[in-house]
Structure 1
Amino acid sequence: MPNCKVLLAGIGKDSHSVGLHLLKLSLAERGFDVDFRGIQNNPEDFKSLSKDYQLVMLSTLDGHASLYLQNFTISEHDKQGALWVIGGNLTIDAEPGALEAAFQTKGFDLVYPKYVDLTTFFLQLEQLFTLNNIALPLPDTKHAQTGIHQHLLSRIDELEAGSSFMRSRAKVLASHPNGQAAANLHQNGLFLAEKPSFSHIVSHSRSLCHLPLLQPRSGVSTTSEQLRYFEHFTSLGVEVLSFQIDSLTRNNDYNGAEQGLNQNKLNGFPLINHGVGPVRAICQAVAPPLQVRHSTKDPRLLAEISLAAGCTSFEGGPICYNIPYYKDYSLAESLNRWAYVDQLCAHYYQYHGVAIDREFFGTLTGTLIPPSLAIASNILEMLTAISHGVKSVSLGYAEQGCRSQDIAAIAVMGELAKQTAAAHGFNDITIQTVFHQYMAAFPATRARSEQLIYASAQTAVLAGADRLLYKTAAEFNNIPTLEDNTEAFQLIQRAMRDTATADWEMVNIEKEIIYQETTELLSTILGHQADYRDAIINAFNRGWLDIPFSPSLYSMGRVTTARDNSYAVRYLDCGNLPLSAASKKRNSDMVEAKKEKLNISSNADLLEHDLLLIPRGQYRHWPLS
């Protein structure tokens, strides 16, 4: 049987990659030879390649397909015998039927304006192949290769030696007119020293009430509206607040952010465009300490202005704000940029005694992330930060839905982070844990979303997390409003007062599993390189760290994950992760038992089941177990 070659790619600026990874695996299991190009491609580039494939599959989930393909057509001559398919979530406003017809006129053979299940898709693809006299490959679920995935290697020799902070500071501040207002480090430090410490407030609150501190997400365009949100949260009793940064600023598109600000059409707070003065005014107007939350590609200017304005916590890191978000952003470059941020934070501690809290977004892609990967990533980012002089860190973990595993993960993360810091000679570090309520696709009804939020808050209490980043019931269909945030805050307060239980025997079993897997990863990664940044690059180059469903070409892309019969997240394919034979066998046995129970032989079918379990509502209650 001749190979049937498929080119699979995401297009436009869409950064979603989970569905593409599922398609890649499913195609490979069905015998297709998959050339996977990842996200953010230009469809015009594939016209000249069409002759090399029997099938070209394009996807976008952000609803902007009409924009990305407004001037695109693919003629029969351009196709050169290949079939072209497009799908995902192609529109946010047009009628799916009308859009399907419009894209067929552009030359696409199959069009899926909204989600279609794999069974339906492959039945229709088979019909299309038969109609065009193209032979289908033979399925190979046992030995399927998951397709060509270009794996780029970061270079250790591109890391900047010593303190890059002062050398490049003038250039960073000059990258936007508002940068100069942050130039005076001494004056900034004096102002920061008067602001409440983010980590101190968290520690103090925990010592008094022994409950996680509640933190809402909040980002709107204007300073007046942002202040209104903050004042309202403060009136509810919220003790820490955060700016959620808009997506244009996160991509360092400050001109675009300015246009969006003028039209009041941003999906977050454009802190750089507002500048030091207006943000300082907000910091002075509210009592709680402020954090900046974002996923900015180059965070240096944002850190400068944020800290100069009085924010005492800055989120992000070289792994968590690179590998889950960007396609071709090298680890050497992100490590250099985050070294600058950490050195800036260290400067304010050294000269003004201000311990800026550095939080790491350990949720990663937010989808079926095994605790050991999340914890290892957090600890490696922690080590890089504290080696630069950072004195306060927060490690984040995203709830997965198995209460025993989630409780165990928070416990192991806090304990192992403190052990590792001490073992490496860092004995004066404040280390806190952050529990993120479920980060993947939410239930499709408000009632189920509220039940998830309620029970999730109880899991955070049982886990002993220091802080809880909470969601709202609007997650399933909308951007949360101030009212949505208020309802969620009050719902969670009720949940935290109610009694909840856990299977502590299972918690202890999960703790042993997570501790073993995490230490296996870290001992190999840290055992081969003395420098923490070198160790991170080496780990991703070798596949010792490999983030599931990541769009990054700097992640090997071999690790896949799924749920076991208790709904805990396990490794479906360990890739090159340096886990012991016992750990690999345990994961394999648990996943195979799940497949047997569901009468599923295909890894792709199992993955589809698990990825869509929550949005399809195919579960009894939250937590799942």
Structure 2
Amino acid sequence: MTGTGFGAFVRRAHDAGHLVVQPRMGMSGPDAMRAGLLATRDAAATTVGTITLDSYTRVGDLESARLAVLEGVALNGYPIVSHPAATTRGVLDGVHGPGFPVQVRHGSAAPQDIFRALRAVGLDASEGGPISYCLPYGRVPLRESVAHWAASCELLAAARGPGTEPHLETFGGCVLGQLCPPGLLVAVSVLEGLFFHRHGIRSISLSYAQQTDPRQDAEAVAALRGLCARLLPDTDWHIVIYAYMGLFPETAPGAYRLLGTAAQLAVASGSERLIVKTVAESRRIPTVTENITALEYAAAVAHRTDRAPLDGTRTQTYAEASALIEAVLALDDDLGTALLTAFSEGLLDVPYCLHPDNAGRTRSYIDAGGRLCWADIGKMPLTGIADVRPAQAITSAGLLDSLSHVRRSYDHRGPGDPWPSQVPAPRGA
């Protein structure tokens, strides 16, 4: 593998004992986007940059994005397709490079225009996937998403050259993750990584979103690492942890506790990168300053956390994920076709996902210890593997309560509980 690029930077940092931390950050104005990247680069942490795109670009409404740029209307992200390439090169000039790679994050089921635009300005790292950027986000048919992502992977892979190794990150480990038992999350993440690989991508990161129980999370990441080692042997891969994707704590101590737990998970599990969330997540889009504080706090927690990886092949999550992956791979030599068949037959089925191409027969619950478990596996090939308890299925009345489980757990603060270390308490706390 080449020694430059997004994946190589993360690998070097990990080998040197550093966790790479990354914000979610996207501003529509070029000056503001450049300032955010500079602040991220200069944070007291080992960082990579993020350009998160706007909603119009994500859904392919490029005309609305262009009008917003022409009229100076602020968007909720950077419209990379609609800004002139020269403008975006100016944003990146003197910022993006071997010592500070930048990733484009978007959320699109049809990212070809996005990939063309990022290639035109010298970027070569992005993320998503044919399942994870289709099922949770809209009604684009899964068949169309698979075709779009096959073409997009090949488009990005064509950018490979001397000093250039394109990088893609799966979003599969985050797909509706807040109520999805981790066996399915790990399976989808690995399957998307294999899809990328079969369409020419050789530098891949595989995601896992922090869930409801730290011990179960550690087991899940160990399973993900074990499966990657087995199924992606000729690939430069690493694991990226996402701080909890659901309802974030409303108090500052709760938010920092949850972020700190994510940083501990990343380091202890041997993961290489962490995408942070901030104290503002429960209320609004965070400022650049809040993002930098989160990056530096996560880095400080990571610095004092020891690695303690588990055996990834001896967990319940590994058994479930392995069974799901093997069932899908046995369906067809073409992985895109296999994924479509798997969803149409219910062999992959995301709980509480309303997309028309998702069977919607699976259900989950949070047990008394905080673990995510199966109440109904539908037609997924987990009979005799998963511990299924139908009586525990979440009812519609209990859904919001379950979605709020993590928020409540981390916001609760007894009178003697200290503030998370490294974060100054506000006046009056």
* TM-score by shorter chain over 0.5: yes
In the TM superposition, residue 255 of structure 1 has moved relative to its aligned partner by 2.1
Q: Which residue of 2 aligns with 1:546?
A: 349
Letter aligned with residue 325 of structure 2: L
Q: Show the counterpart of 1:301.
A: 113
| 2:168 equivalent in structure 1 | 358
Give the CA deviation at 1:257. 1.6
Matches of 1:438 and 1:511, distance apart in 2: 25
1:533 paired with 2:336, answer yes
Of 100, 124, 145, the match for 1:334? 145
Q: CA deviation at 1:410?
A: 1.4
Following superposition, the deviation at residue 508 of structure 1 comes to 5.7
Which structure has more helix as a fraction of its residues?
1
The alpha-carbon distance between structure 1 residues 239 and 449, as it changes in their structure 2 partners (threshold 3 A), is closer
**Which amino acid counterpart does residue 219 of structure 1 have in structure 2?**
G
Q: How does 1:55-204 map to 2 (within 5 A)?
A: 196-204=4-12
Question: What aligned pairs does 1:422-571 form with structure 2 within 5 A after superposition?
Answer: 422=233, 427=234, 429-499=235-305, 511-571=314-374
Deviation at 1:238, TM superposition (A): 4.3
Q: Is the 8 A contact 1:289 1:312 kept in 2?
A: no
Alpha-carbon deviations, 1:502-560, whole Å to 9, x = none?
8x8xx669952011111111121111212111110100000111112223100111112
Question: 1:613·1:619 contact (CA, 8 Å) conserved in 2?
Answer: no
Equivalent residue for 1:285? 94
Unaligned stretches of 5+ residues in structure 2: 418-429
Count residues with an aligned counterpart.
Answer: 407
Distance (Å, rounded) in 2 between the aligned partners of 1:230 and 1:463:
28
How much does 1:337 deviate? 0.9
Q: Kindly, what percent of the aligned residue pairs are identical? A: 29
Q: Secondary structure at the match of 1:461?
A: helix
What are the residue-to-residue correspondences of 1:371-390 with 2, within 5 Å?
371-390=182-201
Cα distance change on mapping 1:453 and 1:550 into 2, 3 Å: same
User: Are the counterparts in 2 of residues 458 and 496 from structure 1 also a CA contact under 8 Å?
Assistant: yes
CA distance in 2, matches of 1:335, 1:604: 31
SS at structure 1 position matched to 2:281: helix
Moved more, 439-448 or 220-229: 439-448
Q: Deviation at 1:612?
A: 2.1
Q: Is the 8 A contact 1:449 1:476 kept in 2?
A: no
Distance 1:570-1:509 versus aligned 2 partners, 3 A rule: farther
Indicate which of 401, 424, 428 corresponds to 1:609: 401
Report the CA distance between 1:348 and its aligned residue. 2.0
Q: Is structure 2 residue 123 aligned with structure 1 residue 311?
A: yes
Worse overlay, 472-481 or 490-499 = 490-499
Does 2:203 correspond to 1:400? no
Give the superposition deviation at 1:569: 1.0
Amino acid at match of 2:372: V
Report the equivalent of 1:175.
Answer: none
C-alpha contact (below 8 Å) 1:457/1:495 kept by paired residues: yes
Name the SS for the 1:473 alignment partner.
coil
Larger Rg: 1
**Structure with higher RCO (Cα < 8 A, 6+ apart):** 2
Does the 8 A contact of 2:249 with 2:411 survive in 1? Answer: no
Q: Structure 1 pair 523/297, CA: closer, same or farther in 2 (3 Å)?
A: closer
Number of the residue aligned with 2:426: none
1:245 aligns with 2:56: no
TM-score (norm 1): 0.62
Alpha carbons 2:207, 2:242 under 8 Å: kept: yes
What amino acid sits opposite 1:312 in the alignment? D
State whether residues 453 and 473 of structure 1, in contact with CA within 8 Å, keep that contact through their aligned partners in structure 2.
Answer: no
Q: Contact conserved, 2:186 with 2:321, CA < 8 A, in 1?
A: yes
Which residue identity lines up with residue 94 of structure 2 in the other structure?
A
C-alpha displacement of 1:383: 1.7
Determine the C-alpha separation between the residues in 1 that align with 2:128 and 2:180. Answer: 18
Deviation, structure 1 residue 462: 1.1
Structure 2 distance, partners of 1:508, 1:307, is: 39
| CA distance 1:546–1:431, shift in 2 (3 Å) | same
Shift of the alpha carbon at 1:447? 2.4
The alpha carbon displacement at 1:223 in A equals 1.0
